[in-house]
Amino acid sequence: MNTKDNKQNRVLVTGTMAFDEIITQSASSGRVIGGAATYISYSSSFFSNNIYVSSIIGNDFPLSFLEEMNSKGISTEMIEIAKEKKSFFWKGEYKNDFNTRVTHDTQLNALELYKPNLNKGLNDFRLVMLGNLEPGIQMEILSQVRNDDKFIILDTMNYWIDKTEKKLFEVISKANLIVINDEESKMLGKSDSLQKCAEYIMSFGPQYVIVKKGSEGAELFSKKQKSVIPAFTIKKVVDPTGAGDSFAGGICGYLSSRPKINFLEIHNSMIYGTVIASFCIQEFGVAGLQKLSAENVNERMLTFNEYLL
């Protein structure tokens, strides 16, 4: 499924690269590598070898991990290293059989210093995936991308909706597709109806909204159409962290491999996103994605497609 390396289908992925500490009802992860850009780029790499990550890491982040990303066809040359700072850190806990996530700690650390500067000559992208990050930085990155026909996918999180809602709506107005979870869509849309929230968000500019509903799957809205995709059921969930980012990464990677992006292709991309996310939640952190092969993805795609029919 890998696309040929040419300018026409370059993908820019931005978001946090982080250390996470995750507590579930049965185990604790200790410090593991996480972050939105990490999950997204790994997941996209199953469909494209033309992924460029723009992010920042601290002095504690293992450089061997960047080498591993390179080995998967992910370019890390735009990842900055803040020598005086630690990496972004997030600590979360899952309760009620993974239905509730509580954030215990968010330390911005290196992210506070992040001033994106897309390398000259590397600012022409067909698809821009704005993963979870401070909306001002998302906006700055967008302003540096040259291609006027770029397709922009945006993700965000309750943390930024609480802190920077006004700035976030500026980025929303630039995006083509928003991927958010049900709780976040209700925060943004100020309604209990997902349909009304999606309509409200689309009134700012985006043509498409995907609302993720965890184990209940996801819904896709445009002004004229709607579709629903169930989740792929996993018997033993270990850690749902990164499921949303892996879902978005699968969507982004799949769309980058398609000649046109429209409602049907976005619907199809959600099937790939769902399958990738189902592997992510089988292990703590990115471990489930690190050992994943294209064969594993294709095999599960067949099972999921049979289920959908």
Q: In the complex, which residues of this chain contact ligand AMP (CB under 6 A)?
A: 16, 18, 20, 34-36, 90, 106, 132-133, 157, 159, 241-245
Please report how close the Cβ of residue 17 comes to ligand AMP at its closest, in angstroms.
8
Query: Distances in Å between the alpha carbon of 40 and those of 202, 280, 295?
Result: 23, 11, 19
Please report how close the Cβ of residue 212 comes to ligand AMP at its closest, in angstroms.
9
| Residue with Cβ nearer ligand AMP (222 or 245) | 245
- DSSP structural state of residue 26: S
| Residue with Cβ nearer ligand AMP (156 or 207) | 156
| Residue with Cβ nearer ligand AMP (16 or 54) | 16
Query: Distances in Å between the alpha carbon of 108 and those of 19, 27, 56, 59, 231?
Result: 11, 25, 11, 14, 31
Rounded to whole angstroms, how far apart are CA atoms 123 and 161? 28
Please report how close the Cβ of residue 37 comes to ligand AMP at its closest, in angstroms.
9
Structure tokens at 267: 């619907």
Please report how close the Cβ of residue 65 comes to ligand AMP at its closest, in angstroms.
13
Please report how close the Cβ of residue 106 comes to ligand AMP at its closest, in angstroms.
5
Please report how close the Cβ of residue 21 comes to ligand AMP at its closest, in angstroms.
10
Rounded to whole angstroms, how far apart are CA atoms 77 and 89? 22
| CB of 42 closer than 8 Å to CB of 35 | no
| Residue with Cβ nearer ligand AMP (162 or 192) | 162
| Residue with Cβ nearer ligand AMP (41 or 222) | 41
Q: Which residue is nearest to ligand AMP (CB)?
A: 34
Report the candidate in 89, 11, 57, 5 with the shortest Cα–Cα distance to residue 250: 11
Rounded to whole angstroms, how far apart are CA atoms 166 and 12? 24
**Which secondary structure element, helix H or strand E, spans residue 276, and what is its range?**
helix 263-280
| Residue with Cβ nearer ligand AMP (179 or 261) | 179
